[in-house]
Structure 1
Amino acid sequence: MLTYIDFFCGAGGSSSGAAAVPGVRPVLAANHWDRAITSHAENFPDTDHFTGDLHDADVARFPAADLFWASPECPKWSNARGKRRDFDKQPDLFGETLPDAATDRSRALMWDVPRYLDSTRRRGRPVMAGVVENVIDVRAWDLWQTWREDIRGLGYDTRLIALNSMHARPVTTTWAPQSRDRLYLAYWHRSLGRAPDWGKWLRPRAWCPVCEEAVDAIQAFKNPRRDMGRYRQQYVYRCPRVACRNTVVEPDARPAAAAIDWTLPAERIGDRAKPLATATLNRIRAGLAKYGAPLLTPAGGTWRTDAEPVTIPMPTRTTRENDGLAVPPLLVPVEGRDGKYATPATSPLRTQTARNETGLAWLPYLIPLRGGGDKERARPVTDALTTVTASGNHHGLVTAPGFTPQEATLLVPYYGNGTARPADAPLGALTTRDRYALVTGTLPEVDDVRFRMLEPAEIGRAMAFADTYRVLGNKREKVRQYGNAVTPPVAEILVSALVEAVTGTSLDREGNAR
């Protein structure tokens, strides 16, 4: 059994992923926020917990462990607060550098990692392997190379990893339906005499359209001199086969829709006691015109601008609630900054911050007019129609009056095992009998769209926490804990690679991930 310590543990995302690896036992979790420690302890009652400022703690008194995970505070490194960060120290008008206290603290916390590693080395019980997690912007820190060499000087080899959570292919934990770019520095002690098999754990499955088969994709930076960045912006994935000239491929990922509870009610925008901001309404209008599917929409003060469909993973979760779900459905930004757009819920969620800044809006819906058990089962126009009978028209379409006609046309099969499809999609097999009906409708006025914010449980699913995992506190505290967390599937695959290196034993790669 390998012991595991988690610094800056938050609510326990990294611990959850590590604990899912066979033979790993969390023995200590440390964090400065008592609410996060309470949540962690609720889920890991047999683990010791330390509440306090780790930078001021005597780490030499902490137990030594085989594995060590650390996620130093990231806000002062990140661009998620709406402005770009330059980590090379910038002088003021008088030529002096005066960083604020919070920035100094974020940087100081990074040094707590080699400080703990050195303390265990001095006790003759060195950590065998570990991971440091942070936002990718920390790579621009002016002391990055010095800090990394400090770890290497303590007897470790290192591997810098750029990984988006939606591409982590877990064995036990849940896939993350969220696009979350993070930096991971993995390290392992040279005395092991072997390195982790990173290719086994870091190559996502993807379909190569040229080879016409599923492959284990390889990461490729657009600029070969770079070693860190965001998916699609700085790097892509390619097919490993030279026969197709290493075609760019899209790895498997889970859509944001997987995290959304579609049973939760939403209020009609025109009935809201507090009207939505003009910018938010404009984003919804633009999204309605562009998409016919659910959207996740940026609502926080971040650099992300586009709403996205729920059929692809969510964007990064942060400590603020900054995504809403809009129907057709649209995800709509609700903060006041310009430059943001509604997106379909078929895309990944964007970065989650500590504020509730994204709304969800709904399309028109169909209502049955017959009696019986189906009379209260309204359904969206994108669903199949209920049974068409010979006794009369039993379907009503709820739409907005006076909306400029923009056709929402569906072909609906009469038979029971078929599904509705857009009129511009290929028609199903035609037989000698009349099998299809044409259903048309119009998109609603914005006031008739239903709108709500994402709930903490949905944000938790976007972060790939199991539904059984308990995060405590009020809504605001839950969002903050989720947004600060590490997605469990990433911790699982990175720790799995390190465990193999430490033990020399191969772990199952496929398993039964959900």
Structure 2
Amino acid sequence: MDVIDLFSGAGGFSTGAALAGCNVVWAANHWPEAVEWHAKNHPDTQHLLQDLHQADWSLVPEHDLMLASPCCQGHSRARGKAHGNPQHDASRSTAWAVVSAAEYHQPQVAIVENVPEFLDWRLYRPWKLAMKALGYSVSPHVVDAADLGAPQNRVRMFLVLTKTKTPLVLDLPKMDHKPASSFIDFDAGNWSQIDKPGRAKATLERVRSGREAFGDRFLISYYGNTKTGRSLNRPIGTITTRDRWAIIDGGRMRMLSRFECRDAMSFPDTYQLPDNHRLAVHLMGNAVCPEPVKRIIQAVKEAA
């Protein structure tokens, strides 16, 4: 099965497709660093660095499956959804590139990933009607990555669009959850003392509450509204585009390494990352989890 990947980012969708036995023939993104690292990890794929509003779809290879992750920032509650905000409105508009690509190529199946709030977008109904006008049935699936093989609680929406008379409802497995302890290396990383001058009061409070609940080893969220610790015996919370999760080990602490972020996202341990920690974390936090994608595509193949 030949696949193209719109808004390919760091390559989570592409990697999941490859794990499912697909051939990723083409991938595109407007972010140079994302295209660079996608190309390092998928050297046999044709790459395009471009704003996909301006894409010439006649230059895109024929394919059986189209994958697309249009920008989610304009939909996410974490980033705000105010109408009239030019940045967020432009972000939401990227979803129309999926319609134009589908109109030209008419693949049998397309899978679109985004945050669940995509379904509340005030233009979702016109967008859905456009896809239906092209002959697609639209089937939304809201899934937690932890249920599909990733050691992370990450709730995302996958729209399965098929050239069928009725929507394709996938029979997805619900797997045993993998704990955060499965990928954390306590012998690696740059640790610092928790009790040091300048440590934020909110951080110390999170550590205190975590110790009461979980003992010496646990996770805390370094920002946000979470005021308690998080057990290492459950999946980690959502990996974001900047350092969020800190590991507590007795009197010391550190942030997740870029490789731990990669493992939490369920990328293979051979997946290459930049040496720049901030860039690597951004790429991972902006990606799609490959293991859930693999299982979604496998379910599509089985249902077809």
Counterpart of 1:138 (choices 114, 118, 138) is 118
TM-superposed CA distance for 1:100, in Å, is 2.0
TM-superposed CA distance for 1:287, in Å, is 1.9
Counterpart of 2:230 (choices 305, 308, 328) is 308
Any residues of structure 2 matched to 1:111-130 within 5 Å, and which?
111-120=96-105, 126-130=106-110
> 1:497 is matched by which residue type in structure 2?
A
Instruction: State the Cα deviation string for residues 179-206 of structure 1 (Å, max 9, x = none).
Output: 000011011112xx7875722xx1315x
CA contact (8 A) 1:196 1:497 kept: no
CA contact (8 A) 2:68 2:98 kept: yes
TM-superposed CA distance for 1:293, in Å, is 5.2
TM-superposed CA distance for 1:467, in Å, is 1.1
Q: Is the alpha carbon distance of 1:305 and 1:30 closer, same or farther for their aligned partners in structure 2, counting shifts above 3 Å?
A: farther
Say yes or no: does 1:325 pair with 2:247. Answer: yes
Counterpart of 1:106 (choices 83, 88, 91) is 91
Give 1:296's aligned residue. 219
CA contact (8 A) 2:160 2:168 kept: no
Give 1:9's aligned residue. 8
SS of the equivalent of 1:315 reads coil
Give 1:34's aligned residue. 32
Say yes or no: does 1:79 pair with 2:77. Answer: yes
TM-score computed with the length of structure 2 as normaliser: 0.93
CA contact (8 A) 1:298 1:322 kept: yes
Q: Is the alpha carbon distance of 1:269 and 1:297 closer, same or farther for their aligned partners in structure 2, counting shifts above 3 Å?
A: closer
Counterpart of 2:160 (choices 168, 177, 186) is 186
> 2:137 is matched by which residue type in structure 1?
D
> 1:104 is matched by which residue type in structure 2?
D
SS of the equivalent of 1:177 reads coil
Distance 1:55 1:45 in 2: 25
Any residues of structure 2 matched to 1:67-466 within 5 Å, and which?
67-81=65-79, 85=81, 89=83, 99-120=84-105, 126-168=106-148, 175-190=149-164, 196=168, 198-199=170-171, 202-205=172-175, 252-264=176-188, 266-270=191-195, 272=196, 275-292=198-215, 294-301=217-224, 303-326=225-248, 362-363=249-250, 449-466=251-268
Moved over 6 A (4+): none
TM-score computed with the length of structure 1 as normaliser: 0.56
Give 2:62's aligned residue. 64
Distance 1:135 1:49 in 2: 25
SS of the equivalent of 2:94 reads helix
TM-superposed CA distance for 1:486, in Å, is 0.4
CA contact (8 A) 1:10 1:37 kept: yes
Among all aligned residue pairs of Structure 1 and Structure 2, give the percentage whose two residues are the same amino acid. 35
**Larger Rg belongs to:** 1
Distance 2:216 2:207 in 1: 12
Distance 1:321 1:267 in 2: 15
CA contact (8 A) 2:14 2:24 kept: yes
Q: Is the alpha carbon distance of 1:494 and 1:117 closer, same or farther for their aligned partners in structure 2, counting shifts above 3 Å?
A: same
TM-superposed CA distance for 1:60, in Å, is 3.4
TM-superposed CA distance for 1:59, in Å, is 2.6
TM-superposed CA distance for 1:167, in Å, is 0.2
Instruction: State the Cα deviation string for residues 95-131 of structure 1 (Å, max 9, x = none).
Output: xxxx1221121111011111100011xxxxx201011
Distance 2:207 2:228 in 1: 12
Give 1:236's aligned residue. none
TM-superposed CA distance for 1:76, in Å, is 2.0
> 1:458 is matched by which residue type in structure 2?
E
Aligned-residue Cα RMSD (Å) equals 1.9
SS of the equivalent of 2:23 reads strand
SS of the equivalent of 2:161 reads strand
SS of the equivalent of 1:178 reads coil
Q: Is the alpha carbon distance of 1:293 and 1:187 closer, same or farther for their aligned partners in structure 2, counting shifts above 3 Å?
A: farther
TM-superposed CA distance for 1:485, in Å, is 0.5
CA contact (8 A) 2:18 2:24 kept: yes
TM-superposed CA distance for 1:260, in Å, is 0.9
Distance 1:116 1:186 in 2: 15
Distance 1:285 1:499 in 2: 49
Distance 2:193 2:228 in 1: 23
Instruction: State the Cα deviation string for residues 268-309 of structure 1 (Å, max 9, x = none).
Output: 234x5x6311211122122222322532211234x5454210
Instruction: State the Cα deviation string for residues 443-463 of structure 1 (Å, max 9, x = none).
Output: xxxxxx111111111111110
For these two proteins, the number of residue pairs brought into alignment is 303
> 1:285 is matched by which residue type in structure 2?
R
TM-superposed CA distance for 1:47, in Å, is 0.5
Instruction: State the Cα deviation string for residues 73-103 of structure 1 (Å, max 9, x = none).
Output: 112211224xx546xx4xxxxxxxxx12211
| Structure 1 unmatched ranges of 5 or more | 90-98, 121-125, 169-174, 206-251, 327-361, 364-448, 503-514
Q: Is the alpha carbon distance of 1:74 and 1:473 closer, same or farther for their aligned partners in structure 2, counting shifts above 3 Å?
A: farther
CA contact (8 A) 1:130 1:498 kept: no
> 1:25 is matched by which residue type in structure 2?
N
Distance 1:194 1:283 in 2: 49
Distance 1:297 1:47 in 2: 38
